[in-house]
Chain A
Amino acid sequence: MTEAARAADAARALRRRTRIFLVTAALALLAVILFRPIVIATSPVPPGRRIVLWHSQRGAEKDALEELIRAFNVDHAGELYVEPLNVPDGSMKDKLIRTVPRGGGPDVFIRPHNELGELVRDGVPRPLSPAALPFGEAEYLPGLLDGTTFAGVRHGAPLTYKALLLFYNTRLLPDGPPATIEELIQSRSTLPSGSYPLAYDATSFFFHAPFFLAAGGQVFAASDERFTVFEGPGAESFRLSGRLRADGVLPPEPTYNEMLRLFEGGQAAAIVCGPWYTPQGTIAASKEWGVAPLPSFEGRPLGSFVTVEAAFVSQSTTHPAEAEALVAFLAGERAQSLRFERLALPPVQSSMYGQGGELEASSSTLAGKLARAERLSLEHGQVTPNSTRMGAVWRPADDVLKASSAGRDVDAALEDARYALARVQTAAPPARGPALPGVLLACLLLLGTVLLVRQVRTDMAAPDVARSRLVGSWGRAALAYLAPGVVATFVLVLTPVVVAAGMSMFEYVEGRFVFVGLDNFRDILLPPLDRAFEARSFYFALGVTVLWTLLNVLLHLTLGVALALLLRPTWVRFRTGYRILLVLPWAIPNYITALMWKGMFNAQVGAINALLSPFGFEGFAWFDSFGTAFFANLVTNTWLGFPFMMVVTLGALTSLPKEVEEASILDGASRWQRLVHVVLPHIRPALVPSIILGSVWTFNMFNVVYLVSGGEPGSQTDILVSEAYRWAFERGQRFGYAAAYSVLIFAFLVLYGRMTRRAAKEEA
């Protein structure tokens, strides 16, 4: 066989092998793609019409629901069958809003009632015909139906409800549950030290609501939906948490987790919590706990905000009658009994609770006690308002409560909260004719493009660039290699910037984007003068951000360079060890680090206070004042940031010629003189770009600020980027406003980049 023939044979064999490989790969891919459709197509489909049900139940609730569905399917075999789909709780609302208005989504869905306002606004639920309600309106516990009604139209059928009640420690309160809060406060004298009469989440408006409602507070004015949450008697009730904490009735850090920790450790006589909670820990082991209705306060009985779990029919259903039949079943008597017996969920019919009602028999069981306590809570409280504007209330109210618990000025906090709400309350800027701002924008864009083209032209004409211009086949090949990078940059970097810039000229009102021109920028940059330099204003945040960046970069630099100089002699020997130690802060995702540090700064159980307790730091609340909260953020970010400077410095130091240093030694320079005159000038060119980079990263360090101090106190430690986040997602969905914020941040950093470009060029 000749050489040529052998080579040809080998080539043939290779081609065949490649073909086989490609075919196999294609078949495998096809199998993967077609797997699910085939399975679905070939699985047996029950006869009859299909009703799709979306829910977010888990565990025992999910089992109970599926049992009910099975029963329903059996009852309607041949005509209908229900196909349940479990959707994660956090994404259910978004999924509904995205799919139902477009004709997709489920036929029936189960959701808590407080989202109803937003869902109706986005056209998700279908009004319920009276046939869908299994019981007459009068049979329902008063107030429950209010939850499933919006703008006078009923949309859902209540399945069950959840209200707050009292969990109490039977050992600390041997005489049984207290009837009044005052009784509970008095028990303070009989309690062992380190225990608290009452622990509830006094920093959350939801848990404070019983006191708010009892004082006569109202979230919305009955007549015109104006916010009245910070007016009148309701506003006064906010001072209560501060008073109770100062009197030692509440623990120093009255938060949700603290409350559970104290109760489970037997250190809280009573806590306010919901029926979802089952005590764990020592108190569970010793079984020394019980449930009771909320006591009364200042002569008035306490009730809470109540959440109603309801079933709704969606607008996109093609079988409304069948869907309503399912809703009626799920809300009906059989389901109610099953829920109560299996899951201790209170039923919705008032007849169950009275004399001769079913609950009487089970009044001594836990389920019975829960149900009774919750019913009383509902009676004295109210269903959480389902208005679309309710979402704006929580955060400001929480802030006032935090201020009160921390002993800060409640009046100032109330003023702050009113202002925050006012910003939500003001009608969004009126839609503007696109004429003037549109023209302005077009001019700016044109100018920007012209400048850019001019700049590119000058750069291209530079002598070294001219040689490497992309021409001919080399050029085409080069373009091909560049293309993925260019596309990625375009999609991931350029497009969001342009979209955000565009969004900054709109405002999100009632589910739609409305053009408002440059009004967002005007609101940000020209706020009312008395508010211009306080927390939550642009200038305050700018000041905090600049201070944050300056201090951080300074600390990173000093610490990094100092450590690099210290480590230099031993660098070569222990190189591997140092590298591992240095990479660790970077290897751990920085949000985990932030959470770790937040835990270390915890007032009660944090490591920092434990270490510093000899100096009187026991129980020191780091996040209660601006200085200390800022300090906590600073410490965390410095821990994260100095390794970068250190490594850059060490790298630069290795390139320092030994002979220059030796010459300076012989010249008689002291260590300090050597550092200043020989070492530092040498590492400066390496440090300048790192400083510029580091300052830009720090300027936008969202994770640390958001997770460690959380902007406490009262948004004072928020930097520009976390402020932008809050405007978008925590203060009433002001997306356009937040986009304007990000455009300003971008502009600021571009300016900074230009200013420092000269400095960086000098070093190059």
Chain B
Amino acid sequence: MSVALSFEHVGKKFGETVVLSDVDFKTEAGELVVLVGPSGCGKSTLMRLVAGLETLTEGVIKAGDRVLNDVPPQERGVGMVFQSYALYPHMTVRDNLAFPLYVRGVKPPEREAEVKRVADMLSLGPLLERLPKQLSGGQRQRVAIGRCLVRKPEIYCFDEPLSNLDAALRSQIRVELKALQRELGKTTIYVTHDQVEAMTMADRIVVLHQGVVQQVGKPEELYRHPKNRFVARFIGTPAMNLIAGSVDARRFSSGPLSVALPADGGGARDGTATLGVRAEHIQVHAEGRLSGVVMGVEPVGEAGYLHLAVRDLLFDTAETGRSSDSPRRGLLCASVPGREAFSYREGATVHFDLAEDRLVLFDPKSGAALD
């Protein structure tokens, strides 16, 4: 039995600094919700609010129907895996796993049985008599997860569990964690700054930026229909191309580019606008109506990325971290099948088209998606 978490207008201030404002969403019971965003966006704080390690300044957090605001951390039924694993350094793995049961007065036979079960589940058998300092990063993480599991909590919280691991291990454990969560079937809050993890693991993603929820939804939704520029650029690799231009009579144009907007597009008004197009929706082929010069080639395996300079095409620089907001020249990122990527040379001219049914329009001032 698992509970759904709901956040109702949750806000958190440290003194005068506002860290979270008006966070409002609900999760489904048993799903893996990923909180993602750049550093300092408040995702860890939000998770700590769930665990009870911080107190809210506004709003209500509920687990099912139970209000968690004033419940002490040990009674919330929350299990947390810390970024640094936080294992008890002077206790063996066995004692680390047994500790939550020990403090609750569970008798030794039951403790032993439970520890064995979890150790088998996570393949910790041979490591039981070791101290944390004798374990590798991956092994420590498994112990941290195991320590969580023995308590059979209702809600799991993972605080950037993969960020201390090397890349190869990361992808392997990603899969294992997702499988584990499926097996347990409990509501899980997962914090990460890596959108790849978010995309691969989440049932639903919550994108946070500067303490404000940008969008909540399934990965596909965020990918296809980002609600604003930030989400558009944050989610997906490579980042979405944002072209600055203007809309006139239901056509968007920027430099040589001119596309017709869909007939049911509501919010598009005449004036400046930003067009978002993903790399895979730029089709490079000899009959393309647009052309550009290859400035860089990135063959990354299954796909390859071409960075094209298109004359007179201007880009929206918001969300790129540069100080100036005015549109400037830039490179368009297009993706090509991997085997072809090796055949492109820098300086070559290529032709391409945009898939006109996969374009997203944004308001250049507010960043919000239009239509």
Contact = CB atoms under 8 A, between A and B. Distances in A.
Given A673-B103, A677-B99, A678-B88, A668 B74 contact: yes
B338 interface: no
Nearest to B48: A662
Nearest to B53: A662
Interface string A644-686: 0000000000000101101111111110010001100110000
A670 B82 contact: no
**Interface centre among A668, A669, A670, A673, by most B CB within 10 Å?**
A668
B89 A660 contact: yes
A668 B82 contact: no
B84 A666 contact: no
Interface in B48-93: 51-53, 73-74, 78-80, 82-84, 86-91
A663 B153 CA distance: 14
Query: In this complex, which of A667, A668, A677 has the most chain B Cβ atoms within 10 angstroms of its Cβ?
Result: A667
B186 interface: no
B322 interface: no
A670 B86 contact: no
Interface in A674-733: 677-678, 681-682
Interface string B94-112: 0000011001100000000
B103 A663 contact: no
B307 interface: no
Contacts of B52: 666
A91 B88 CA distance: 64
A663 B74 contact: no
A664 B84 contact: no
B227 to A, nearest CB: 34
A660 B86 contact: yes
Nearest to A678: B88
Contact of A666 (B74, B88, B91): B74
Nearest to A673: B103
Contacts of A665: 53, 73-74
A681 B91 CA distance: 10
Contacts of B87: 660, 663
B140 interface: no
A323 B213 CA distance: 106
A659 B86 contact: yes
A668 B104 contact: yes
A669 B103 contact: yes
Give the interface size class of chain B.
Answer: 20 to 34
Contact of A662 (B82, B99, B100, B151): B82
Which of A659, A681, A682 has the largest count of B CB atoms less than 10 A from its CB? A659
- Name the residue in A663, A664, A670, A678 with the highest tally of chain B Cβ atoms < 10 Å from its Cβ: A663
Contacts of B82: 659, 662-663
B151 A663 contact: no
Given A665-B74, A666-B79, A657 B53 contact: no
A655 B230 CA distance: 39
A666 B90 contact: no
A677 B91 CA distance: 9
Point out which of A662, A666, A673 has the most chain B C-beta atoms below 10 A from its C-beta.
A666
B147 interface: yes
A677 B88 contact: yes
Contacts of A682: 89-90
B73 A666 contact: yes
B86 A657 contact: yes
A657 to B, nearest CB: 7
A669 to B, nearest CB: 4
B163 to A, nearest CB: 14
Contact of A664 (B51, B88, B104): B88
Contacts of A669: 74, 99, 103
B103 A666 contact: no
Contacts of B83: 659
A662 B74 CA distance: 10
A666 B99 contact: no
Contacts of A673: 103
B84 to A, nearest CB: 6
B151 A667 contact: yes
Given A668-B100, A670-B103, A673-B103, A663 B80 contact: yes
B90 A681 contact: yes
Nearest to B81: A663
A38 to B, nearest CB: 72
Contacts of A660: 86-89
Contacts of B89: 660, 681-682
A127 B261 CA distance: 132
B80 A668 contact: no
Contact of A668 (B86, B88, B151): B151
Contacts of B88: 660, 663-664, 677-678
Contacts of B147: 663, 667
A663 B104 contact: no
A657, A662, A673, A681: most-surrounded residue (chain B CB, <10 A)? A662
User: Most A CB atoms within 10 A — which of B84, B89, B103?
Assistant: B103
Interface in B246-273: none
A663 B53 CA distance: 10
B103 A667 contact: yes
B360 to A, nearest CB: 40
A666 B104 contact: no
Contacts of B73: 662, 665-666
Contacts of A663: 80, 82, 86-88, 147
Contacts of A664: 88, 99, 103
Interface string A204-245: 000000000000000000000000000000000000000000
Contacts of A668: 74, 100, 103-104, 151
A673 B53 CA distance: 18
Contacts of A657: 84, 86
Contacts of B53: 662, 665-666
A682 B73 CA distance: 23
A675 to B, nearest CB: 12
Interface string A495-512: 000000000000000000
Contacts of A659: 82-84, 86
B318 to A, nearest CB: 36
Nearest to A667: B100
Contacts of B99: 664, 667, 669, 677
A668 B99 CA distance: 9
Nearest to A680: B90
Contacts of A666: 51-53, 73-74, 78-80
Contacts of B86: 657, 659-660, 662-663
Nearest to B144: A663
A668 B80 CA distance: 12
B133 to A, nearest CB: 13
B144 to A, nearest CB: 8
Nearest to B104: A668
Contacts of A670: 103
Contacts of B104: 668
B298 to A, nearest CB: 38
A664 B82 CA distance: 12
Interface in B148-164: 151
Nearest to B90: A681
A673 B103 CA distance: 7
A14 to B, nearest CB: 50
A673 B100 CA distance: 11
Contacts of B103: 664, 667-670, 673, 677
A49 B89 CA distance: 86
23 contacts: A659-B82, A659-B83, A659-B84, A660-B86, A660-B87, A660-B88, A662-B73, A662-B82, A663-B88, A663-B147, A664-B88, A664-B99, A664-B103, A665-B73, A666-B53, A666-B78, A667-B100, A668-B74, A668-B103, A669-B103, A670-B103, A677-B91, A682-B90
Given A663-B86, A669-B74, A677-B88, 7 more contacts: A662-B53, A662-B80, A662-B82, A664-B103, A666-B53, A681-B89, A681-B90
Which are the 7 A-B pairs with shortest beta-carbon distances? A659-B86, A667-B100, A663-B86, A668-B74, A681-B90, A669-B103, A659-B82
